[in-house]
Structure 1
Amino acid sequence: MRVFGRGALLGLVLALAALAPGAAGAATQEAEGLWMREDGASKIQLAPCGGALCGVIVWLRNPNSKAHVGQKVFFDMTRADQNSWTGQAFNPDDGKTYSGKMVVSGKKLRTSGCVFGGLICKTMYWVRAN
């Protein structure tokens, strides 16, 4: 007994494939906006600067920290793929600049500053604040 014709079966298969997770590729994620560090210690604003993205501290819970409002902590961040950027990350705690990476996943942002070609990295997590 035939329930579907050949054309109807093909249409059903294509419709189910389109609904499958990742079938059409991952959606492009945007990093621009206001982000709060997961521990609530600071907020950064990621915005275009030149042909890249930059991140500036816009709020600090502890105004006596080594960091200060207005300080650029991410710069020259260029898109590496649909949800990640690479560039430079500045760490106010030690005053050094590292190779940086940002990865956006929904309302979460993971930032890393690395040395030795990525062998040693410090990672921070952020949540979208806007």
Structure 2
Amino acid sequence: MPLIAIRGALILLTLAAALPAWAAQPITGRWATVEGKAIVQIAPCGKTLCGRIEKIVKPTPGRPQTDIQNPDPALRSKPLAGLALLTGFADAGDLWKGSIYDPESGKTYNSKVSRNGDGTLKVQGCIMFFCKTQTWTPVR
């Protein structure tokens, strides 16, 4: 291989290594959960992002507005408003990865969050390869 071709290939490899990695679209802001039941504020929490319930819009009839399913009995009287649903979310290329807490079951799942083309948020809670998906809408 001619020396010029080798130098050209090395220059291309050097430039490719210097380019920034593909970044996930921003997910910060206020989001209405499925059926507009709650508003979740996603914002920085240290080096990662988290999402807290800002407001319960449509309470479940007969259900207390506390974290009654929490596996820790000491936390079951904690109000749902202010509760962290999304924790530890970090940019993983074309999406964000972290954990999601389900106050209906008291369980925490691995989670992936990404922006859809229509501006909505695709929120997934996963156990191994099986994921349940919700679509959240932006709140102005």
Specify the code of the residue in structure 2 equivalent to 1:55. Answer: G
In the superposition, the TM-score normalised over structure 2's length comes to 0.66
Residue of 90, 97, 112 corresponding to 1:101: 112
- Residues 1-130 of structure 1 mapped to structure 2, 5 A cutoff: 29-60=25-56, 61-62=58-59, 64=64, 68-82=80-94, 84-105=95-116, 106-115=118-127, 117=128, 119-130=129-140
1:36 and 1:98 mapped to 2: Cα distance?
Answer: 20
SS at match of 2:124: strand
Specify the code of the residue in structure 2 equivalent to 1:112. Answer: Q
1:101 and 1:71 mapped to 2: Cα distance?
Answer: 19
**Residue 78 of structure 1 contacts residue 86 of structure 1 at CA under 8 Å; is this kept in 2?**
yes
Work out the percentage of aligned pairs sharing the same amino acid. 30
**Residue 66 of structure 1 contacts residue 93 of structure 1 at CA under 8 Å; is this kept in 2?**
no
SS at match of 1:81: coil
Aligned length: 102
| Residue-by-residue CA offset, 1:49-100 (whole Å, 9 max, x unaligned) | 0111000001112073565110000000001124x10011111011011001
Structure 2 unmatched ranges of 5 or more = 1-21, 68-79
CA RMSD of aligned residues (A): 2.1
1:29 Cα deviation from its structure 2 partner: 2.0
Between structures 1 and 2, the one with greater strand share: 1
Ranked by relative contact order (alpha carbons within 8 Å, sequence separation 6 or more), the top structure is 2
Specify the code of the residue in structure 2 equivalent to 1:30. Answer: P
Structure 1 unmatched ranges of 5 or more = 1-25
Specify the code of the residue in structure 1 equivalent to 2:59. Answer: N
1:121 Cα deviation from its structure 2 partner: 1.6
2:137 and 2:65 mapped to 1: Cα distance?
Answer: 21
SS at match of 1:112: strand
Question: Is the alpha carbon distance of 1:76 and 1:40 closer, same or farther for their aligned partners in structure 2, counting shifts above 3 Å?
Answer: same
